[in-house]
Structure 1
Amino acid sequence: MFLQIKNSRDLVKILDIQELIDPNNDIVHGQDQEGQEEQETESFQKENLEFPSGESLPRCWLDANYRKVSMAH
């Protein structure tokens, strides 16, 4: 799966989807897709990533307590 770094056009290939959807992880490991050669694996803050369409990541991927907050209102 590819995500985009916010405020840029840089794509990141996500290496572990489970890591991405786990709201207890603040970071995800991936490879920046610059140039033609495969890049080294790096850590990316999930809050700095979005879908290539510009859409934000689902809140349930970012916040382990998202249900508690929304039920309180």
Structure 2
Amino acid sequence: MLLRETQSGDLVDVVDMSALTNPFIDQVLVQYQHGEDLLEPEVLSKSQLRFPSGEGLPVCWSDGHYRDKQVFSRF
């Protein structure tokens, strides 16, 4: 999956999708997409990633307790 790194605006390819969607893992392995050469994979924090459209990642991918906050806010 291609995402955008927020600092540089460069596209990165997520190497491990299960780490990206696991809310208890804070970092993911990505490869920057520069030209024809594949660069060595790097570890980035999920907070540094956005969809190419600029939209942030879903909360359920970064906060394993996001539903707990919804339940407590009702009371």
TM-score (norm: length of structure 1): 0.93
* Unpaired stretches in structure 2, ≥5 consecutive residues: none
| Identity score, percent | 41
- Partners of 1:26 and 1:55 lie apart in 2 by 18
Q: CA RMSD in A?
A: 1.0
- Residue 64 (structure 1) aligned with residue 50 (structure 2): no
Secondary structure of the structure 2 residue equivalent to 1:29: strand
Who is 1:18 aligned against? Answer: 18
Larger deviation: 60-69 or 5-14? Answer: 5-14
Measure how far apart 1:39 and its partner are: 0.4
* Unpaired stretches in structure 1, ≥5 consecutive residues: none
CA deviation profile, 1:20-59 (whole Å, cap 9, x unmatched): 0000000000101123200001001001101000010000
Runs of 4+ in 1 over 4 A off after TM superposition: none
Q: Which has the larger radius of gyration?
A: 2
| Number of aligned residue pairs | 73
